[in-house]
Chains A and B, each alone.
Chain A
Amino acid sequence: MSQKKFELPMRRLVLDGFSFSFLVMVMLFAIFNPTEEQQLNLQFNFNVFIGSFLVGMVISYLLNASGVKTFGEHLFQPDYKKAVENRPMLKTFWGWHFIGFMLLLIIVGVFKTKFSIVELLNEDGFGGAKRLFAGIAEPNWQILPRAVLNMVETIFMAFMATILAIPFAFVFSFASARNIMTGKVSFAIYLALRTFFNVTRSVEAIIWAIIFSVWVGIGPFAGMLALMVHSIASLAKQYSEMVETVSDGPIEGVQSCGATKLQTIWFAIVPQVVLPYISFTVYRWDINVRMATVIGLVGGGGIGTMLVQYQGQAMWQEVGTIIFVIAVVVWIMDQASAYIREALK
């Protein structure tokens, strides 16, 4: 007798459970209209959320068991179950489940962002914006030389961050590629590196800039370090994905000649990934120039720092000059990197 393995469709249950608990929370909010103190009672609210989440999972399970297809099931069902849906979406349960969930999200979103047409068209505020735009539209060219000088600093911040990230990312990319790290020990290293890079990448470059500006002091060096850390994590991920897609033929060919692991990587894998690597790297420099501008806002040096100084004093004409310089450089970088990447194909 063969017993069929029983597995819970977790992803479906989580999505359905979440949509149900979200509905419950919103309804409770609308009925009881809680005070701010009550809203801040995380313990209690969390319990309500988890409770209704579990109830939602049970409901999802019962619905699907009795043949009613929920949104979670529609999204996460395995490929072999995916049949051609003949009925229009509006005549299915999952369709209304999805629409209801989206509507609820949008309604809550409107409240949470304090979305207001009145504010947008408020006369005072609008007048301020007009002054700002008038200033920007009439840049003060007197500060152009300094803006250009600062922009050069920004470009080199990005350049150095990219260059210094390459060797690290190159080495780590092989150590975090699934098809290379096959043994038990290697697999542990692979998992550790992957996790480390995911965490590093999920911390935005602007946060790294804040950390490094405390560490090494405000200025372009802090900005460069922040961009470097972020670039290493991003490039290592992109590089290692390339390594995972190389074709096995050359690897087998080189191995049949008695190559060691390092020789296999160097002779069979590197030639296959070198062009995409360069392409990613050029693109990363391009991204870093744009990020370097933002990083300057929190003390990373370069054009961003200059921008935040003038913006703080509401000197819009000077801000206009800076925005002009940024726009020109970003546009040129964007085009140049596109041409270079095209040529590398």
Chain B
Amino acid sequence: MSDPILSIKDLRKTYSNGVQALKGVSFDVKKGEFLVIIGLSGSGKSTLLRCINRLHDPTSGQITFNNSGVKTEIASIQHKNDIRGLRKNVGMIFQHFNLIPRTTVLVNVLMGKLSSVSTLRSILGMFSKADKDDAIKYLNLVGIKEKAHIRADQLSGGQQQRVAIARALTQNPKILLADEPVASLDPATCHVVMDYLKKVNQELGITIICNLHFLSLVRQYATRVIALKDGMLVYEGDPKNIDEAWFEKIYGAGAKEVHIN
């Protein structure tokens, strides 16, 4: 077995208003796996993902990123440029897609190149031919190449999420974080987006860490699952082993599983 790509130890995050979102979480992420994090709203899933790419600053603990042998201690990065360098390797997609309104799909996807283009060149819109080709390539991969010159806010929810995936892939990341990527989509579109994530995982070999709500999706897509409850890790293992008892433990007594097909 190779070293884990990401090794998280005793990660804690307390917000300035005193809320303890993470109370000492430790786990490893293996290279190339499709790891799903489940748990109630407010259990700390989103905070966890945002600590990994430093959209949030962890209060204490370690996040060790192993980029093919080069180890980086994510939690203790101070300098802005280093955070920028980290984000080259860690892409992210969001529940509400977080695309730029009134801007074309292509420009949205080119945002994935921001970390490697100088500020001045990017503001003048001077992206290289290679960057544009890359953007088109990933738009093609998620099947919406023909929408490249349409405004991003004109697309449907599922298409917007695919643009977001293409944007993240244009960064050429080692890890892709997905914060409830299908929570605002209808059941049918939901599977389309999840299938593209699976494709990214299997064909491009990108490690995926994904927050999800629906256990049926977890069983279908995850290679491994961890569960958070009140900022603590309560389950780690194979998604097939989550039975009724575990479900109640994670989601509280009386919770019923909702199926989506």
Contacts and interface: CB of A to CB of B under 8 A. Distances in A.
Contacts of A252: 55, 94, 98
Given A262-B123, A266-B123, A249 B94 contact: yes
Given A249-B94, A260-B84, A263-B123, A254 B114 contact: yes
A219 interface: no
Contacts of A262: 119, 123
A271 B102 contact: yes
The listed residue with most B CB atoms (<10 A of its CB), out of A253, A254, A258, A266, is A258
Contact of B115 (A253, A257, A272): A257
B48 interface: no
B165 interface: no
B102 A253 contact: no
A267 B101 CA distance: 10
A256 interface: yes
Given A249-B94, A252-B55, A259 B111 contact: yes
Contact of B98 (A249, A259, A266): A249
Contacts, number: 85
Contacts of A254: 100, 111, 114
B123 A257 contact: no
Interface string A266-290: 1110011011000000000000000
Contacts of B112: 257
A249 B122 CA distance: 20
A274 B168 CA distance: 26
A250 B167 contact: no
A335 interface: no
Contacts of B88: 258
Interface string B124-141: 000000000000000000
B103 interface: yes
A253 B98 contact: yes
A92 interface: no
Contacts of B53: 256
B96 interface: yes
B36 interface: no
B99 A250 contact: yes
A272 B99 CA distance: 11
Contacts of B98: 249-250, 252-253, 256
A271 B108 CA distance: 12
A258 B123 contact: no
A255 interface: yes
Contacts of A256: 53, 55, 87, 90-92, 94, 98, 168, 177
A214 B101 CA distance: 48
A309 B199 CA distance: 79
Contacts of B92: 256
B171 interface: yes
Nearest to A252: B98
A267 B107 CA distance: 9
Nearest to B83: A258
A258 B94 contact: no
Contact of B101 (A250, A259, A263): A250
A271 B122 CA distance: 15
Contact of B84 (A253, A258, A266): A258
Interface in B69-102: 80, 83-88, 90-92, 94, 96-102
Contacts of A268: 100
A258 B103 CA distance: 19
A258 B101 contact: no
Contacts of B83: 258
Interface of B: 53, 55, 80, 83-88, 90-92, 94, 96-103, 107, 111-116, 119, 122-123, 164, 167-168, 171, 177
Interface of A: 249-250, 252-260, 262-263, 266-268, 271-272, 274-275
- Please give me the 7 A-B residue pairs with the lowest Cβ-Cβ distance, nearest first: A258-B115, A253-B98, A258-B87, A256-B92, A249-B98, A259-B114, A258-B84
